Amino acid sequence: MDRRSLLKKGVLAGAAVAASSALGTSSAQAVVTGKQIKWRMVTSWPPAFPILQTGVERFAKRVGELTGGRLSIQVYAGGELVPPLGVFDAVSSGSVQCGHSAAYYWAGKCNAAQWFTCVPFGMDAQGMNAWFYFGNGLKLWEEVYAPFNLIPRPAGNTGVQMGGWFNKKIESMDDFKGLKMRIPGLGGKVIAKAGGAVVLLPGGEIYTSLERGVIDATEWIGPCHDIRMGFYKVAKYYYYPGWHEPGSALELIMNKKAYEALPSDIRAALDTAASELNVQMLSEFETENAKALSQLKSFHKIRLLRFPDKVLEGLKVLAAETIEETASKDPQANKVNEDFMTFKKQLAAWNKISEKSYYDSML
């Protein structure tokens, strides 16, 4: 189905179900009294984790509302049913019907998956959504995931992340040499190319690793989560912008067999709820990050620094090399990368005279 038609039909069908339930029509009664379908959903996020896990819980509730209770989704946080990084395999095998995570976690299984989360110096959240919904992004994503029996949907975005917390100043590219930094994905490969030592750590170990000097720096997400982690207590400098993750998209993945077995209106409700979550999660991140950054500056007196232009220019060169090398590993990744870059280039020409010009004048 054409992506635009899918989106439009999903919204209309979901709205129709919600409206009929509100009005108490006979069709709504049929929905309520019909056979209930039960799904299980696993995530990569800790229990009650703000925005991410709480957003997924909201998604499950919304699906119940849109379907009049015909589809019930039980949500399990990372580790409650499967490990946080076991989401892909669990949904692919059909042991659970759906999951919520980030596509770049599956780079070891599917190289091309990384482009559907973020690309260093790539597109922001607005650009990623444009690519997914009205470019070839979602079509390519479905194509990449098809061999794994998965159907993906955009379902959240962190927005532009922060550059990270550092215990040494970054004034030139030489300062990355020997730097021990916790940073995953393509961004981590860029740091390694710059001479850094990339350390992969779960969230629960980052604070103590910074405190004890096991690592010199870390990236996480943004102010609203960073302040909860307490990084300002053990790191001297808070750098921006998040060149490595300019608009990290999150995913709803559904088992293809389970999804296609659903009535068309329930499939539309799932698509609609995913689209709503995509907007809501980004909006919540923007709101809470703004509040948290103000608190970090006002109450915790952090040293907020921008990466020097020459450092960003150097990282950009290395990022281009890294992306090209990664894409060249297989035809599928190369196909996705070419489409991504073509869309980005076209969008950038417009953004330069729209978004950038406006922000330059506003700020």
Query: What is the mean pLDDT for each group of 10 consecutive residues in the chain (363 residues)?
Result: 45 39 32 73 94 98 98 97 95 98 94 96 97 98 98 98 97 98 92 94 85 96 95 97 97 98 98 98 98 97 97 98 96 98 96 89 80
Domain boundaries, the chain: 7-158+246-286
* CA nearest to 35, candidates 72, 77, 82: 72
For residue 34, what pLDDT is reported?
56
DSSP string, 158-199: --S---EEESS---SGGGGTT-EEE--HHHHHHHHHTT-EE-
CA distance 111 to 132: 18
pLDDT at 10: 45
Q: Tell me the CA distances in angstroms from 335 to 115, 130, 340, one per residue in order.
A: 11, 18, 9
7-158+246-286: CATH number: 3.40.190.170
* CA distances to 12, 19, 152, 303 from 248, in Å: 28, 33, 15, 25
* pLDDT computed for residue 14 by the predictor: 42
- The tokens describing 281, both together, are 């999660």
Residues with Cβ within 8 Å of 229's Cβ and at least 6 positions away in sequence, in order, are: 203, 206, 207, 220
From CA 2, how far away is CA 8, in angstroms rounded? 10
Nearest one of 84, 326, 315, 88 to 186, comparing CA atoms:
326
Partnered with residue 303 across adjacent β-strands are 237
List beta partners, residue 165: 218, 238
